[in-house]
Structure 1
Amino acid sequence: MTQTTPTPASGVAAPRNLHLEDIAVGDRFVSGEHALDAEQIKAFAAQYDPQPFHLDETAAESSLFGGLAASGWHTAALTMKLFVASVPVADGLVGAGVEVSWPKPTRADDILHTQSTVTEIKPSRSRPGRAMVTFETLTLNQDGETRQRLVSRVVMFARGQR
């Protein structure tokens, strides 16, 4: 896996410990890459989503997917790995809810990366120094095709707050 320095849309390298005051709506963060292969797909499926189209190429050929496809939950787990590495929130990415969709299946030859954009910052009315931050994270393959869309709401804190 190759890793790049997380960079908001401004082109300036992001601080390693992002706080609420370090981000703005429109900031975009791009992750490094993760190369997927059939063995990873099968190993994840065997443990967490043991369905024929995730475990066996022959069975997968006659499925809706027309070939071996990664579990959506495998794609989600890889997305989280890339998201966390590219958006270094000081107190961690504390999730408060997500919406996830998989417009196309993730395949064994996909090289995935994420692009995460801050779409909303909603300050808390009852707790100063914190906000609900919404990110749209697209998981893209090497051809720029979206494999997953994740909209997540994350609690973020200002420096010195909790």
Structure 2
Amino acid sequence: MRYFEDMEPGTITHSPRSYKVTREEVIDFASKYDPQPFHLDDEAAKQTFFGRLSASGWHTAAMTMRLMVETMQDGEPQAGLGSPGIDELKWIKPVYPGDEIRIEMEMISKRRMKSRPDMGLTRSENRVYNQHNELVMRFIGNGLIKVRDPEAPIEDEPAA
């Protein structure tokens, strides 16, 4: 089990596999959660910035979450406790049916929580690429991770 103490800023993790985006899934997701014409109809999409049917950004985020969970499950189990949210979500390029996306996760910081000494907060920059290695989405993910020894003293944050 990987605990907060085992995690090192600067570590980069790549998803071992990609996720293939299908036309059916794009339309199904959009019809339920983001029913804008450019996610549902080829002709309507041709008249927009996208130029053709594209996945909703929220669908891209959901597919990315799938890749993140699969990547965590493939590695050593993590003592994860959930997430308080994400920051700086940017959709950079459209994702189209037929694209294959993959994720690269780089831990950028971690700190013990003074209010909850049994857990720590990690921050990771998450970058999503298509099959052409083009960046399509990025965000900062915040993760809550169980501390191995909650009785250990909390070190002061280093000066910036």
Q: How does 1:88-107 map to 2 (within 5 A)?
A: 88=73, 90-92=78-80, 94-99=82-87, 100-107=89-96
Query: Cα offset for 1:158?
Result: 2.0
- Distance verdict in 2 for CA 1:107–1:151, change over 3 Å: same
2:158 match = none
1:143 match = 132
> Any conservation in 2 of the 1:84–1:93 contact (CA below 8 Å)?
no
> Any conservation in 2 of the 1:29–1:87 contact (CA below 8 Å)?
no
Q: Which amino acid aligns with 1:90?
A: Q
1:86 match = 71
1:13 match = none
- Distance verdict in 2 for CA 1:93–1:44, change over 3 Å: farther
In terms of Rg, which structure is larger? Answer: 2
What SS does the aligned partner of 1:131 have?
Answer: strand
Query: Cα offset for 1:131?
Result: 1.2
> Any conservation in 1 of the 2:72–2:78 contact (CA below 8 Å)?
no
In structure 2, how many angstroms separate the alpha carbons of the residues matched to 1:28 and 1:81? 18
2:97 match = 108
> Any conservation in 1 of the 2:81–2:146 contact (CA below 8 Å)?
no
Cα root mean square deviation, aligned: 1.6
Query: Cα offset for 1:91?
Result: 3.8
What SS does the aligned partner of 2:124 have?
Answer: strand
Matched, 1:131 2:120: yes
1:64 match = 49
In structure 2, how many angstroms separate the alpha carbons of the residues matched to 1:115 and 1:22? 19
What SS does the aligned partner of 2:27 have?
Answer: helix
Matched, 1:77 2:77: no
How many aligned positions are there? 145
Identity %: 34
Gaps of 5+ in 2: 151-160
Cα deviation code 1:83-105 (max 9, x no counterpart): 12213563446111212110111
What SS does the aligned partner of 2:66 have?
Answer: helix
2:157 match = none
Gaps of 5+ in 1: 1-16
Q: Which amino acid aligns with 2:90?
A: S
2:21 match = 36
In the superposition, the TM-score normalised over structure 1's length comes to 0.83
In the superposition, the TM-score normalised over structure 2's length comes to 0.83
